[in-house]
Structure formats: C-alpha cells, structure tokens
Homo-oligomer: A and B are copies of this chain.
C-alpha cells in the first residue's frame, strides 16, 4: 500500500508551494525534486494566494518566521482551503517563544490542515497549550519511549479528532495517526538529528505525498515518514563507507530519496499499525 503512494508522487509530480524558513529552504526544494515533486517558494503577501492557486498543495513551516510572513501564511492557507488543496503545518519551535506558539495557534484557528508534523514537544505545545520545547529540538522529558508509546498514540488520535488533521510525531519512533488508526514507524538513524532540516525536509516531502494521494492522507503521510527514515538508513551506510560526516550525510539522504523506488520502499519500510 505505502509504495503506491510513492508511485503516485512520481507520476503526478505535484507542484508544492512552500512558505518556509531560510535555514533549510534549499534542502526542502531539493528533496521535493528528489522525490518527484516540484517546489516553488514564495512568501510575499502580494503573491502568495496566486502562487498557491497554481500549485497542488501548500507547506507552511514557521521556522524563522517574522511578522511579514505570518500574514502570508494565513492568507495562503485560507486560499488553499478554499481551493481544496492539502495544507501541511510544521510548527518549528512552537513552545520556544510566544511568537511561535501564538502563530501556531492562530494558524490552527484560521486554516484547516490536512497534516500537522512536529516533534513531541511541538505537538504537545499545540495540543495542550504547554510542553517544554527548548530551541527547535524535542525536550528529553518529552521523549517517546516503549513505556509511553501507548499514551502518545492515544494523544495523537485525540489531537487528530480535535483538529481534523493527520498528526505526525517524529523522533526515534515515529507516529502517524488519524482518529482511528496509527502507524508506528521504526525507520531512521540517529545522525538524522545531527543535520539541520531533517524535519523540514520530511514535511516538504510529505506535502508532495499528500498532494499526490488526496484520498489517502494517512497512508501518504506514513509513506513519507518511511521514505525519509529508510533513505536515512541507506544514506548512513554510504556515509560510513566513505568515512564521512553530517554534511555529506545530508547530500546522501537527498540522493537516496532521488533513487528510491517502490520495491525498495516495500522491502525497507518498518512499521506496525495500531
């Protein structure tokens, strides 16, 4: 099933509008191209609605947000909703500042999201009005462990119920849940947290997956998570072979996304459904 999601991205080549941070924007564009999609970046209030209209889906990422771009995010989000385009939210650093937290709340109020993807601290901030986000990484106290897995799944399903969005919580174990069903995904390698942008890139790629698979948002989001983690595993093998570090790993990761086909995804995806 998940490999069908990949096939659809490669066939439909969805054009994705990204309003995103300037730290990882280049990586987001290249991973979108790698997976078979096509990116356009645009954040000015004077054009975001038009740009969203020519695209198939919208990716909103609040890293390095500023007053100017917050308005653009809301305008583009509303337009995408109006047109029935899927919209995905990456609440980077929600909980780390009032600006980010309040922007995330405002976006949740004004825009209907198909998917919300963050680490556990960010998602808890959104759901509970709290959390302990330190910077842009998940706080240790929020870590998903074997002991807490069941309760995190219930939490994700409940937050999906509340928002109408598929909830994606990424970390060592990834959870992709709608109100009824959760994928628990075990792909991935630790070095993914030693590059900037592995979260942003996943969200951007996920935008392409859900746009190419509008009838299967849960499966499309789960497929994107598996692709990212599996390509991380493959890229880390290449990295070790070359005795390389995190910068080369970043390139290898995007390379593996470029090369991945449906058979390799089918073989390598490690998940269970709960």
Contact = CB atoms under 8 A, between A and B. Distances in A.
Interface of A: 15, 21-27, 29-30, 33-34, 38-44, 46-47, 50-51, 54-55, 63-68, 93, 96-100, 134-137, 194-197, 243-248, 250-259
A96 B51 contact: yes
B40 A93 contact: yes
A96 B46 contact: no
B255 A248 contact: yes
B30 A246 contact: yes
A167 to B, nearest CB: 24
Given A245-B255, A256-B245, A195 B135 contact: no
A135 B196 contact: no
A42 B97 contact: yes
Given A38-B137, A64-B42, A195 B33 contact: yes
| Of listed A51, A245, A248, residue having the most chain B CB within 10 A | A245
A40 B96 contact: yes
Contacts of A43: 64, 66
Contacts of A196: 26, 29-30, 33, 39
Contacts of A259: 243, 245
Contacts of A253: 247
A247 B250 contact: yes
A245 B34 contact: yes
Nearest to A258: B245
A178 to B, nearest CB: 30
A272 B51 CA distance: 38
A157 to B, nearest CB: 30
Nearest to A255: B245
Given A248-B252, A258-B194, A258-B247, A41 B54 contact: no
A23 B29 contact: yes
Contact of A246 (B33, B44, B55, B197): B33
A200 B30 CA distance: 14
Contacts of A256: 245
Contacts of A40: 93, 96, 135-136
B135 A96 contact: no
A134 B184 CA distance: 37
Given A26-B197, A248-B251, A66 B41 contact: no
B254 A30 contact: no
Contact of A47 (B38, B41, B97): B97
